[in-house]
Structure 1
């Protein structure tokens, strides 16, 4: 394969990846839905090879599962795995927020306040997708003041991997919209008034865990309802 051919194949794989990821995140492909590679290839006017590469990439990122005798399908939310992932995220966000609190600028705090007001509006509209994106931007703004570049890299990967699950979590527990906004306000107050790092870290960590616990309870309740 020439360099040009290799580049074209990589480009097609990226197109297929972005197409499928966007559809999964937008929930036009729902959890448990089978991904028929040949059909996707026809839709995108390409061979199956770049589509298969894209699906493997999505599998590595947790968006897709392979089921025996079924093939590739959009990943479902496993309550136990979700809770473990969110516990990890809570630790990372808590430490990053606390370590950046003394370094954050007035402009960054103002930006976080603006984002939280927009979050309030999205909460009133019940827009889970927009809320999740803004919520990540809010926490990225606070965490981004940390001087620990490695930590911030880990956070970016976790945020990306958990996009789909977190969007579902807010949709599962609508009450968390307004609660989350209020907790953001309290967190901003702690940071702006120079509260001790341990206080900021504990509050930020518990904020993330509250969403996780509420979503897990809703997921498990739904599972019990399906069994009965």
Structure 2
């Protein structure tokens, strides 16, 4: 691992450790099945082992790491079953989230979505894929927050952690075989459509847009990771979600 100091003085030490370790996992600097080197993290951040352990148990609760008795913390693997479960759950929960958000979102949250989508256009052009992944995640988490439903937010927040890692995995593959520019344009267009539908309070159309948006992401994952699999073909879309 690279020796680069990174201090975030305004945050609790456990939060600093959480953000750092999560970034290492999302960007695959610590890959699936790899052990998290607690000693290295402690040295890198100049903090003790207790806040690092707190961060790791938090990541364990989010299903990003697992505890192996007598050995330590390891990054969870991504399996075929994981992906099937993730996309089935994502399709259901994202549809529920936008249906609620369309009726509950606040003006300042819509402004935040507009700003983030504008920033996304720029980082796509710069091919700054870590920032693309982080900004996209922030966009969706604002929608989750706008549901004003703590249980739904918790489930979707956990799901977003998993999808962040998948998104970045796709970016480190050979991109020449996939029209990433078209993908970016479609993704940003979906975001803009959602923003306009939220302004109108149109939950039915918002559900249709997010359904296609999830499938767009799934097609990208299939292309880079599972070329012979079409997970969502086995998922029956929910019809007419009403809140």
Fold conserved between structures, TM > 0.5: yes
Q: Is the 8 A contact 1:101 1:191 kept in 2?
A: yes
In the TM superposition, what is the alpha-carbon distance from 1:66 to its structure 2 partner? 7.0
1:118 aligns with 2:124: no
SS at match of 1:102: helix
Q: Distance between the aligned counterparts of 2:138 and 2:147, measured in 1? A: 15
2:34 is aligned to: 33
Q: Is the 8 A contact 1:97 1:146 kept in 2?
A: yes
Structure 1 residues 171-180 or 148-157, which shifts more? 171-180
| TM-score, with length taken from structure 1 | 0.70
Q: How does 1:1-228 map to 2 (within 5 A)?
A: 19-35=20-36, 55=56, 58-64=59-65, 73-169=74-170, 171-172=172-173, 174-175=180-181, 176-195=183-202, 197-221=203-227
Q: Deviations over 1:138-190 (max 9, x none)?
A: 22333433243322232223223443233324555635322211211222233
SS at match of 2:88: helix
The count of aligned residue pairs is: 211
Contiguous gaps of at least 5 residues in structure 2: 1-11, 230-243
Structure 1 residues 71-80 or 133-142, which shifts more? 71-80
Q: Is the 8 A contact 1:31 1:77 kept in 2?
A: yes
Q: Distance between the aligned counterparts of 2:114 and 2:222, measured in 1? A: 29
Larger radius of gyration: 1
Contiguous gaps of at least 5 residues in structure 1: 1-10, 224-228
1:8 is aligned to: none
Q: Distance between the aligned counterparts of 2:34 and 2:21, measured in 1? A: 12
Over 3 Å counting, the alpha-carbon distance change for 1:17 and 1:150 in structure 2 is closer
Q: Is the 8 A contact 1:83 1:212 kept in 2?
A: no
Q: Distance between the aligned counterparts of 1:141 and 1:81, measured in 2? A: 25
Q: Deviations over 1:64-111 (max 9, x none)?
A: 35789x975433432441242133123222212122213333433232
| TM-score, with length taken from structure 2 | 0.66
SS at match of 2:78: coil
SS at match of 1:30: coil
In the TM superposition, what is the alpha-carbon distance from 1:116 to its structure 2 partner? 0.7
Q: Is the 8 A contact 1:96 1:144 kept in 2?
A: no
Between Structure 1 and Structure 2, the one with more helix by share is 1
Q: Is the 8 A contact 1:115 1:138 kept in 2?
A: yes
1:3 is aligned to: none
